[in-house]
Chain A
Amino acid sequence: MEIILDALGKACPTPVIMAKKEIESGNRLFGIKVDNEIAYSNLKELATNRGYHAEAKADGGHFLVVFEAQEQDTCSYCAEAAQIIAQKPTAGWAVFVNKPTIGHGSDELGGNLIKMFFYTLAQSDDLPKYVLFMNSGVKLTAMDEYEEVAGHLKALSDKGCKLLVCGTCLNYFGLADQVKVGTVSNMLDITDKLKEVAKVITV
């Protein structure tokens, strides 16, 4: 393996961007050094999405994540078909949560409104494809005081709705190891999901 990228000390999503550039330049085998687990889980997700296999090796207190392209069909018809499959249809909807309340004016009222919002969503048959959490919205997935909302989010997740929680934001609020529901994610993935769906509702 000739290329080893150094992302030690780099904040999310820089390691993912570095790996993405390497993949886009056509490199089929490379490594990237990172120093935290969130970066590793984000890199692993990137690898899966791009047809790579990613494995982390302990490297003196850090991780060396090795990316290796998985064997692909080289026939042109297969490549064309794969490209069509990869073009995601614009369908479904997403909820974007950027604070632990609905609206402004009263946090107490807003906190109750968001509880009722997710209760109503969880009871409904028409579910969002994604619920995306950023900034203080991530508190809903991690803090004990929002346990009631976390219960509704769990019900949504059980019904197949994907919950993506911004890792940078969790880290900022010191909640990275307290996530009760959802998948820790990153700006690239969350932006992809926002672009993918036909409609985004921001609460």
Chain B
Amino acid sequence: METYYLLVFDSTHAAMQAQKDLNNWMKVIVVPTLREITASCGISLRVAKEDYETFLSILRDQKKAVRLDTKLCRLYQIISQDRTNQARQIPLPAIG
């Protein structure tokens, strides 16, 4: 069993913008949006479980200036086991 977090987007540009900004501060992996999640953009950002707290603190830190429009993205916790994924949406923290 593997747990990780996934940011999914409504727009490809929003996904790539967030990827660039986040990569200045931490490692996020560009992955295809899971079949289990309906989103209009196929690019998602994968955050490892051990990096999740760092990820949240980066989003909260105004100085890090991560451009992430919360209206255009959603955050999921993914539990992956035997090639099936369970996706649970969790609220995004207030940004900046």
Listed in ascending order, the chain A residues whose CB lies under 8 Å from chain B are 108-109, 112, 115-116, 119-120, 148
Besides the contacts A109-B16, A116-B30, A120-B32, what 12 more A-B pairs have beta carbons closer than 8 Å? A109-B12, A112-B19, A115-B30, A115-B31, A116-B32, A116-B42, A116-B43, A119-B29, A119-B31, A119-B32, A120-B31, A148-B30
Instruction: Tell me whether chain A's interface is mostly helix, strand or loop, or mixed.
Output: helix
A148 CA to B30 CA, complexed, in Å: 9
Listed in ascending order, the chain B residues whose CB lies under 8 Å from chain A are 12, 16, 19, 29-32, 42-43
13 A-B pairs within 8 Å (CB atoms) are namely A109-B12, A109-B16, A112-B16, A112-B30, A112-B43, A115-B29, A115-B31, A116-B30, A116-B31, A119-B29, A119-B30, A119-B31, A148-B30
Q: Which residues of B contact A116 (CB under 8 A)?
A: 30-32, 42-43
A116 CA to B41 CA, complexed, in Å: 13
A148 CA to B31 CA, complexed, in Å: 11
What are the 8 A-B residue pairs with the smallest beta carbon separation, nearest first? A115-B30, A116-B32, A112-B30, A119-B31, A120-B32, A116-B30, A112-B43, A116-B31
Q: In the complex, how many angstroms separate the beta carbon of A144 from the nearest chain B beta carbon?
A: 13
Q: Which residues of A contact B42 (CB under 8 A)?
A: 116
A116 CA to B42 CA, complexed, in Å: 10
Q: Which residues of B contact A108 (CB under 8 A)?
A: 16
Q: Which residues of A contact B32 (CB under 8 A)?
A: 116, 119-120
Q: Which residues of B contact A120 (CB under 8 A)?
A: 31-32
A109 CA to B15 CA, complexed, in Å: 10
Q: In the complex, how many angstroms separate the beta carbon of A111 from the nearest chain B beta carbon?
A: 9
A109 CA to B12 CA, complexed, in Å: 9
Q: Which residues of A contact B30 (CB under 8 A)?
A: 112, 115-116, 119, 148
Q: Which residues of B contact A109 (CB under 8 A)?
A: 12, 16
A31 CA to B42 CA, complexed, in Å: 55
A3 CA to B29 CA, complexed, in Å: 54
Most chain B Cβ neighbours within 10 Å, of A112, A120, A148 = A112
Q: In the complex, how many angstroms separate the beta carbon of A161 from the nearest chain B beta carbon?
A: 19
Q: Which residues of B contact A115 (CB under 8 A)?
A: 29-31
A115 CA to B44 CA, complexed, in Å: 11
Chain A residue at minimum C-beta to C-beta distance from B43 = A112
A116 CA to B19 CA, complexed, in Å: 13
Q: In the complex, how many angstroms separate the beta carbon of A113 from the nearest chain B beta carbon?
A: 8
Q: Which residues of A contact B31 (CB under 8 A)?
A: 115-116, 119-120
